[in-house]
Structure 1
Amino acid sequence: MPNAPQADFAIHALAAALPAGEAPPEWIAIFPQVGRIETRDGRTYDVDATALIARFKADGVAVPIDVNHSTHHAARTGARADAVAWINELRVEGGALQGKVEWLAEGKSLLAAKSYRFISPDFFHTSEGVTTWLRSVALVTAPALGGQKALAAASSQESKMEKLAAALGVTAGANEAALLTALNAGFVPKAVHDEAVSKLSASETKLKDIEDASRKARVDALIEGALKDKKILPAEKDHYARLCATDSGYESVKALLAAKSPALTKSGLDDKKEPGDGAMPAPALLAAEAQKLVADGKALNIFDAVAALEKKYSAAA
């Protein structure tokens, strides 16, 4: 077919092999390459991927995949032209114009039986051969374009290769040798990997132990200081220690104790000697004697009783 005007279209202009495999490909190469192409019978076209994608998006209509261009022939006779799949998205990948395919049951069956191994686009073009609109794509048995690679980019294997290339930071479309080189460059033997993981785990455990010991030392110092300053009672020690279980808890308790006034005044009995020859009795004995003064009504409270006894024994000394 010579270059046709805008209103005409070309069929069997191109064809590419469908990938062999159990599952039908999600992406197929409608045009194995973009730009200037030539068919086996001498026709030339200029595949304008930008224009084809723009028209596809503007139409908002899925492109049918039929058998032997039945869509084209049915348009002339009014006959049925059932689709065996639908193309719902176009993209340029690896230098090819690809279509994302939703395969129907019949399409899957034809591919599984290997009844059709190639595809061929049905497209409109200008008089200069520049593609303008992709109307349909057909499953065919004979390609029109020779020397073109099969649709590897649409196979599951190629999809895996693309993902591997992306993960390795290799340019899309890189061959197997380039991927193997990248893999070897970043390869770490399992034994080395396991040893590194083990050492890292041990280091993390050691660091946690150090952090826990450091926090405990800080908490103990804070609590003992509060006890010494009479800001908390011995019975409250464990309660405040639990509040210091986290760094934020420790800081909160520290601020609370800093603002807290002593609960008991210092008695001055800590350094007193045991009773005898007028010496101040031991704290436990002094406390018992003070409680007796309060019980006998000789002192209003424990603080007054302690003060009276302290005065008594100081004078005796």
Structure 2
Amino acid sequence: MPAGDITTRDGRPLRNVDPDAILASFLADQRDMPIDYEHATEVRAAQGLPAPAVGWIEELKVEAGEVFGRVAWTDEGRAAVEGRSYRYISPVVHLEPATKTVLRISSVALTNDPALYIKSLNRREAPETSEDTAMLKAIAKALKLTEAATEAEILSAIATQETEKQALSTRKPDPSVYVLRTEHDALVVTCSQLRAENKELKDAEAEKEVVALVDGAISEGKVIPAIRESELELCRAVGATKYKERLSKLSAVLTPGEDGRVRADPTKVVGKLDDAQKEMCRRLGISEEDYLKEIGTSA
């Protein structure tokens, strides 16, 4: 890592003004730093894919503000470098956002497209546009990450979701808890039909009871046939139980079989009500005059 202010090939600014901080971070990590192909440690590993190292940086040192690393190559890594398959290295740097100062290096990659004009800097990347930044922020938000999430963190979250998705796709649902949606929907329709049919049956039975109660009251002389429809409506409104209670408190106002319009009593005065008819009018809340008109019309 060269010293001082640095400008990458694609125009990004970097600053290596505190190389001792880079060295301190490496020592605090207490492990060798991996060297891979094309940043596999940061990209492929975050997706759960293999990212083997081809070398290890075992020591860092600072000379005139520049940072150097001593490498122990694997056989594959040494062959790649000596065979000129890869000619440059690219460290993954972590910056202080405001000043773009390099704080630490987490890994190094072999690459043929370095970002700077020397071999030991970041691999060159396409210039980031405002559209790219907006898209990354949108993806981070969709993944429930902060807008400041790095590309590596986004890739890691996507990989995690994909792993969870695959786990769910192979998991068999518990038949004691889950059923097929088609079976569930068919059962809902069946239950709805059964409820409707059950309501119809209950309504029919209730109506039979209402008719039976009113007709029974008429046959017992507690209700006159002329007001049968009104009594039916009353019974439906208050319910059979309360209507029975009402009937239990009434005495007969007509002789069973009598229709309430004309009595057989020869002593009855035409145009006047007897005591029983008056009592009936009082119970029903109708005037004697209206009742006389009714039985006069029906006679």
Greater RCO structure (CA 8 Å; 6+ sep): 1
TM-score calculated relative to the size of structure 2? 0.37
